[in-house]
Structure 1
Amino acid sequence: MILASPSIPAQLFGSGLIGVREGLETGIVVMVLIAFLVKSDRRDAVKWIWLGVAGAVAMVVAIFLIIHFGTSTVSTLTAELIAGLASLLAVAIVTFMVLWMSKASAHISSDLKAGMSTALLSGGWAVAGMAFLAVGREGFETALLMVGYAESVSGGLWPLLGLLLGVLVAIGVTVLLYRGAVHLNFHKFFLYTGIFLIFVAAGILGYGVHALQTVGWLPGGANLAFDISAHYDQSSWYGTLVAGIFNFRPDPTVAQVVAWTLYVVVVLTLFLRANRIRPAARPSDAPSQTPATPDAGI
């Protein structure tokens, strides 16, 4: 476990930024669905979208609370094992979603609209189910990511509060985007926040490895890669900031350092390659242009 509890501002910032990114991804999905219904003159079906969204949010909150607080009823080692496994699962899902969204962003809007067209033919519950699955997919990723993050920083309810504040900011931005009051470079936003998430996930991965070493599932718990505790004040402002956001510890094991390094090198390379902007086509090569959809940068 980390040696000192990270500062509250660091936990709020780290989880808040996660909330803004994940909330904006979800908000854009909802915005596309509602905009499609409005343009299709089916405002009567919007209530079913909100029903599906409410169900997805309830599911996300339940997942987080069950996993995060359920560990308090078991032994310390069992709780450590559950937290470690949840952290590794969160890293796997977040990695998949970050890389998959980089490739799927170009056709997400059309896929959502096609799915909604089919759902409208089947009735209101199908529309609600469509919204539930679309939002629930994003929310499930966020719930597991936050479980891993909250466990790794040992911050109680502060990471959850930061997440909620970030989601509220994302909701506000989404409303402004829908009304055309603000414009956002989605490619840059999701590129930079994606890089941030990769480093956060790497820290969660390191925590998960250490947790499994603690319970004996992985060897090498006593083999330290380095120990700078004598020169690194983890209770200082910079120590609590780095620990609260990236789960850095001054005495990691060799397995933690290897896992962290391999993850960052491999995933960051794949992510940057997938998000590389291709040179714009010359006017003569592109006789017609399709306006960019709001989710083009996800």
Structure 2
Amino acid sequence: MIQVIITPIIVSFREGLEAALVLAVMLTYLRKTNRTDLTKYVTLGASIAVGVSIATAMIMNVVWGTVSGPVLGLFEGIVVLIAAVLLTTMIFWMWNAGDRISSAIEDSMKTKQAVAGGAGLAVLSFTLVLREGVELVLFSMALVIQDGAVVYIGLLIGLVLAAVLGFAVYHGSMRVSLGALFKWTSVFLILFAAGMIAYGIHELQETGLLLIGPSELWNINPPILPDGSYPLLHENGAIGGILKTLFGYNGNPSALEMAGYAGYLIVVGVYYYIKYHRSTETVPTSSGTPDGLVQ
């Protein structure tokens, strides 16, 4: 069970923390500029975004519960692949934003506030929080598809931890470097997304689609023990299960699963190389507050 909840804890913590820190940046900016009277608009937009995210999760669960057979496999494969793509775009966005995340949000607030006042801030907070909420819904669905309802325990733990840290940051008892935090958690998420790509391909192949190449490149899963339990290194064993949950480890992958996994890592690696090793200058943060937050 422990290995099953590790990934949802990390994923929900990351997504929840992004939402919490976005709100912390916005509320801190209002406090620094003596415009706390606009706080209600920020909280309103965020609250509506949370409601829409919950509604989206409920709709997806209803759809998931009404399909079966090949259609179910098709639905699960598509959801997992979409979640992997969305996760990748989020990672790329964080890499591009880097240490300018806080200042970028503050600049957006200045523009929205100047054009539309409190309503503009409500729209901004709604948009930023909704993005995190919808991402979390898709990632959660992908995890539940792979590991079952026990995933919700990990998701809840991660969200609670994110809320506590976000609260501490906002009230000044803790400082967090957004750029550093998201950079290092992205390493884990890249491997997680690669596993999702492979799993999504596996689900589609189960429905009879994408039957390209050998159905099994190798099988390194140790035999099941006489008592019916799995050896440690089996993909369903104690160690193999952790690797499967975190990084998509599969003891008997198909050729296309392996190609998808390796191809994804190559594409992301090339993107990282181009971005960081061909860059000749560093863009400093434009605000007085470091990339993390909060005075």
- 1:263 deviation in Å? 0.8
- 1:195 deviation in Å? 0.7
What code does the residue aligned with 1:238 have?
I
Question: What residue in structure 2 maps to residue 251 of structure 1?
Answer: 252
Take 1:263 and 1:83, find their aligned partners in 2: how far apart are those partners?
19
Take 1:130 and 1:211, find their aligned partners in 2: how far apart are those partners?
37
Take 1:61 and 1:221, find their aligned partners in 2: how far apart are those partners?
40
Query: Which sections of structure 2, spanning at least 5 residues, go unmatched?
Result: 224-232
What TM-score comes out, normalization by structure 2 length?
Answer: 0.85
Question: What residue in structure 2 maps to residue 139 of structure 1?
Answer: 133
What code does the residue aligned with 1:130 have?
L
Question: What residue in structure 2 maps to residue 35 of structure 1?
Answer: 28
What TM-score comes out, normalization by structure 1 length?
Answer: 0.84
> Which is worse superposed, 191-200 or 40-49?
40-49
Take 1:130 and 1:251, find their aligned partners in 2: how far apart are those partners?
46
Question: What residue in structure 2 maps to residue 3 of structure 1?
Answer: none
- 1:87 deviation in Å? 1.1
Contact 2:99 2:179 in 1 (8 A): no
Cα root mean square deviation, aligned: 2.8
- In structure 2, the CA distance between the partners of 1:92 and 1:35, relative to structure 1 (3 Å rule), is same
SS at match of 2:52: helix
Question: What residue in structure 1 maps to residue 230 of structure 2?
Answer: none
Question: What residue in structure 2 maps to residue 172 of structure 1?
Answer: 164
Take 1:199 and 1:230, find their aligned partners in 2: how far apart are those partners?
24
Take 1:272 and 1:12, find their aligned partners in 2: how far apart are those partners?
32
- 1:280 deviation in Å? 10
Contact 1:198 1:268 in 2 (8 A): no
- 1:253 deviation in Å? 0.5
What code does the residue aligned with 1:93 have?
L
Percent of pairs with identical residues: 27
Take 1:217 and 1:99, find their aligned partners in 2: how far apart are those partners?
29
SS at match of 1:101: helix
Structure 2 counterparts to residues 163-242 of structure 1, below 5 A: 163-220=155-212, 223-231=215-223, 232-242=233-243
Question: What residue in structure 2 maps to residue 52 of structure 1?
Answer: 45
Structure 2 counterparts to residues 1-150 of structure 1, below 5 A: 8-121=1-114, 122-150=116-144
Query: Which sections of structure 1, spanning at least 5 residues, go unmatched?
Result: 1-7
- 1:78 deviation in Å? 0.7
Take 2:2 and 2:54, find their aligned partners in 1: how far apart are those partners?
22
Aligned length: 282
- In structure 2, the CA distance between the partners of 1:289 and 1:18, relative to structure 1 (3 Å rule), is closer
- 1:137 deviation in Å? 1.6
- 1:143 deviation in Å? 2.0
Take 1:64 and 1:272, find their aligned partners in 2: how far apart are those partners?
36
- 1:98 deviation in Å? 0.4
Query: What are the superposed Cα offsets for residues 179-222 of structure 1, whole Å, 9 maximum, x if unpaired?
Result: 22223344442222101001111111111101111112211386
Query: What are the superposed Cα offsets for residues 11-35 of structure 1, whole Å, 9 maximum, x if unpaired?
Result: 2111001111122222111111111
Question: What residue in structure 2 maps to residue 162 of structure 1?
Answer: 154
Question: What residue in structure 2 maps to residue 4 of structure 1?
Answer: none
What code does the residue aligned with 2:159 have?
V
- 1:289 deviation in Å? 9.6
What code does the residue aligned with 1:149 have?
L
